[in-house]
Structure 1
Amino acid sequence: MRFSSKLNILSFSNLVHRRLIQIVFKGGSTGLFPYVWLRDCSLDPQTYAVTAAMKGRLHFMRDFDTNVHPLDVSLDKKANCLAIQWPGNVNSRYEQNWLKSRCPANENVRILRRQFYLGLECVEQWNRKQIESRKFRFLLDRFIDDDRVLHDFLCSVCVHGIAVLEGNGKNSNNSELFGKIVQRIGFLQRNHFGEIFEVFPKPNASNMAYAGAGELPYHTDFPSLSDPPQLQMLHMANRAECSGGLSMFVDGFHIAKLMAQRYPEHYKLLTSVPLEFVEEGFDEHKLMDGSDERFDYDMVARHKTIKLDDQNRVVQVQFGNVMRSWFIDIGDPSLIQKIYDALKIFTELCYAPENQLIFPLHSGDSVLWANTRLLHARGGYAVIGVPSRERRVIGCYFGWDTVKSRVRTLRDALKLAQNQHTL
């Protein structure tokens, strides 16, 4: 059935034998919409509860008729929408823009929707030259006051795996400032070091970062956990008065790509053989209410150094030589030498100057990065023996779900072009 060219839906056909409705839109594009999908996704009040506080489908899959047929299909010319009457006295209206932007199996729709996840589709790998040419530094004052800057900061973490806040030394030792930064981002992810930790040399060190001021090698945090924190943030409360203590980062996804290109056999080992990581001891830290807590732990986990998805895309890099144990779960001992060779190559690529992003964190600066993508390290520095003047870093962890949710809510509130509706 065809309609006036003033309408954005030019025609529709009810293909009963295929259980589809075919729509021709203005401009000539077409879409095929299955009956079952149209009924299930109808936003009428009998199908969906839609309020400011929640959105959710009302009918149970147990009771849903997957072989449903429409009783009537028509075009509401005034509203320029498809109108369908379903069994059970359900009346649905499908606005043309809604239909066109959600057309099942349409390649453009699929590509656009994948962007909604803020996952691999938006990732841009980097070496030193590439990351230094990109926007990943932001002013702390504007981050605190401007939601668009907050959005761009978090997007940089999604895309590049890292973003830096430049505090210009203001109130760097102020725990209230750190709290404001955290609050702008979202919920913290607690672990066996508490919610917030401080890095400075101390007795009974529970972590190599606390054990001294020496260099720390490239690693991801907590390979000893089966579900390690996905993002880490460090805030430089007080920079070392002597030189040193540089922050070092490398894109593990880029390193994995280089290994696949240059050392395919070693790459195959790191993507197929899990390594065991252990962490045993205790940590003493303060809780949010200011009380002290001691937590004893004995963590063990296995990870492939480079984790792939079902399309052989790199989705996680996880490695820490300090926590790597003696156990390698393979039946052929001759492969052990090759595994060590692969780890050596992986590490050498991390330390190649052209792959490293190295910079000082000044007092008041903060950095947020993807812990399951980037590896980080620290240059050594001198301890001067005066606690109030020593290098002190405050840190915490976040989950991707929290950060990506924040990006989406900001896009919605700011009405940005990248925004997509949930339903």
Structure 2
Amino acid sequence: SHVFKQAAATSLPGITVVEFEDGQKSKFHNYWLRDHCKCEKCVHPVTYQRIIDPLEFEVDISPSKSTVSDGSLVVEWDNGAHKSVFPLAWLKKHSYDQKFTSTQQPKLKLWGSELENKIPSVPYDKVMNTDEGLFEWLQNISIYGLCAVSGVPPNGNVLFLFDSFFYYLYTCDTRKVLERIGPIRETHYGGFWEFTSGFEHGDLAYSTVNLPAHTDNTYYTDPAGLQLFHLLAMKGKGGEQVYVDGFNVAKQLKDLYPEAYETLSNLGTWANQAGDNEVFLRPSPGPYSVLNHDKAGNLFQVRYNNEDRSIINNLSFEEVPKYYSAIRKWMKLVRDPKNELIVPLKPGYLIALDNWRVMHARKEYSGSRTLSGGYIDRDYWTSKLRVLDGRVRGVDSRNEIL
């Protein structure tokens, strides 16, 4: 257990050392502290935009005085002409000398077929009418990569009659759920879309054939962050959705075949969408890898769609067989039944996926069906999550992050 003591600040050449109440210490450069001043002269109180200019002060700036008072580090500059106040909790959260464990970010929960009948779900009324419900939905997506909304009105099988009035109601309510998060992303498929098997666009999604597991928009520089599916009507058999946790498969690949994992992290291949006469999409600069990592080496995005994979002409002679070997191992794991979550969609039951993590597939079907949905950019759904995270805790999350 920690021995709690009086927090303190010590000035050394070029740096300020903060000792927190639990006895842990962290060093901060004085230039960094001055640059991160949050007073109204340095950060606009309404827009939260930076007013301070890094050229306003010298690199070797030193505080006139540094003290700890009322749970904050108080730094005076220029003999008291300027004062910066940093809450100790904020300094600890943003420490770059010592990294302190953050308990705020919930850990990802990886899954496979065992999630059947256990998909996290939030009632429609709660999502639409409360901040807590919308937050619960989005936080589940951030943890699991998917979450359902149940009870999307109107309920029942009335849609099987293809009654245009109720069909319209259903469509509106599905769109409202998307718009509750943020702007719907426009693509060449439109914004909010409904598709059947009539090949309205040059894409296999607009057919009845089996679609293997994939993420959407691999042909975009910035694939949609969130995707929503809602079955409006079904007359026939089959067509179950299959969901695969790409992060879970990536972990298995890394454990079983580390060289294949490295290959799919470092070697990219082109993707394209050219089924519509007026569209020929390719990512820029591209080509992107199946497994994409941040600078700290953390996996943040899976981009995989075999159907939209394009010509492999960017790899060396030696790299081509390595790539094919790795992609075969990846595909076998993706299609392993233990990694497949099979979900029969039904009217009134809507599912949202993190398109940067969860792959989706569709089993072949007979008859006719209408599926609706749309995309939200990753920036918008994660933005809404940040806002709500603070709101449900009763704090302004901007003050914690900025």
TM-score normalised to the size of structure 2?
A: 0.84
Question: Counterpart amino acid of 1:19?
Answer: G
Is 1:208 matched up with 2:199? no
The SS at the match of 2:400 is coil
User: Within 2, Cα distance between the matches of 1:29 and 1:272?
Assistant: 38
The SS at the match of 2:136 is helix
Change (3 A) 1:330 1:82: closer
The residue that corresponds to 2:193 in the other structure is: 197
User: Within 1, Cα distance between the matches of 2:375 and 2:174?
Assistant: 13
The residue that corresponds to 1:280 in the other structure is: 274
The residue that corresponds to 2:335 in the other structure is: 351
The SS at the match of 2:272 is strand
Alpha-carbon shift at residue 192 of structure 1 (Å): 2.1
Unaligned 5+ segments in structure 1 are: 1-6, 284-295, 384-389
Question: Counterpart amino acid of 2:11?
Answer: N
The residue that corresponds to 1:298 in the other structure is: 280
Note the 1:173-322 alignment, pairs <5 A: 173=167, 174=169, 175-210=171-206, 212-238=207-233, 240-282=234-276, 296-301=278-283, 302-322=287-307
Change (3 A) 1:397 1:36: same
Question: Counterpart amino acid of 1:400?
Answer: R
Assess if the C-alpha contact under 8 Å between 1:46 and 1:90 holds in 2: no
Change (3 A) 1:12 1:253: closer
Alpha-carbon shift at residue 66 of structure 1 (Å): 2.5
Assess if the C-alpha contact under 8 Å between 2:226 and 2:381 holds in 1: no
Alpha-carbon shift at residue 338 of structure 1 (Å): 5.0
User: Within 2, Cα distance between the matches of 1:198 and 1:181?
Assistant: 15
Alpha-carbon shift at residue 169 of structure 1 (Å): 5.8
The residue that corresponds to 2:162 in the other structure is: none
Assess if the C-alpha contact under 8 Å between 1:169 and 1:365 holds in 2: no
Q: 2:55 aligns with which of 49, 62, 76?
A: 62
Assess if the C-alpha contact under 8 Å between 1:168 and 1:362 holds in 2: no
Assess if the C-alpha contact under 8 Å between 1:224 and 1:279 holds in 2: yes
Cα deviations by residue, 1:177-197 (Å, 9 ceiling, x for unpaired): 123201211122222222122
User: Within 2, Cα distance between the matches of 1:20 and 1:342?
Assistant: 48
Assess if the C-alpha contact under 8 Å between 2:193 and 2:374 holds in 1: yes
Structure with greater proportional strand content: 1
The residue that corresponds to 1:387 in the other structure is: none
Alpha-carbon shift at residue 249 of structure 1 (Å): 0.7
Assess if the C-alpha contact under 8 Å between 1:280 and 1:298 holds in 2: yes
Alpha-carbon shift at residue 200 of structure 1 (Å): 0.4
Assess if the C-alpha contact under 8 Å between 2:8 and 2:67 holds in 1: no
Q: CA RMSD in A?
A: 3.0
Change (3 A) 1:70 1:267: closer
The SS at the match of 1:382 is strand
Note the 1:11-22 alignment, pairs <5 A: 11-15=8-12, 18-22=13-17
Assess if the C-alpha contact under 8 Å between 1:157 and 1:163 holds in 2: yes
User: Within 2, Cα distance between the matches of 1:62 and 1:81?
Assistant: 26
Question: Counterpart amino acid of 1:201?
Answer: S
Q: 2:137 aligns with which of 153, 159, 167?
A: 153
Structure exhibiting the larger radius of gyration computed from Cα positions? 1
Assess if the C-alpha contact under 8 Å between 1:248 and 1:379 holds in 2: yes
The residue that corresponds to 1:112 in the other structure is: 102
The SS at the match of 2:83 is strand
Is 1:360 matched up with 2:354? no
The SS at the match of 2:55 is coil
User: Within 2, Cα distance between the matches of 1:165 and 1:150?
Assistant: 10
User: Within 2, Cα distance between the matches of 1:357 and 1:200?
Assistant: 23
The SS at the match of 1:278 is coil
Assess if the C-alpha contact under 8 Å between 2:5 and 2:23 holds in 1: no
User: Within 2, Cα distance between the matches of 1:153 and 1:104?
Assistant: 32
Identity %: 24
Change (3 A) 1:337 1:81: closer
Assess if the C-alpha contact under 8 Å between 1:221 and 1:228 holds in 2: yes
Change (3 A) 1:102 1:241: same
The residue that corresponds to 1:86 in the other structure is: 77
Change (3 A) 1:271 1:146: same
Change (3 A) 1:100 1:344: closer
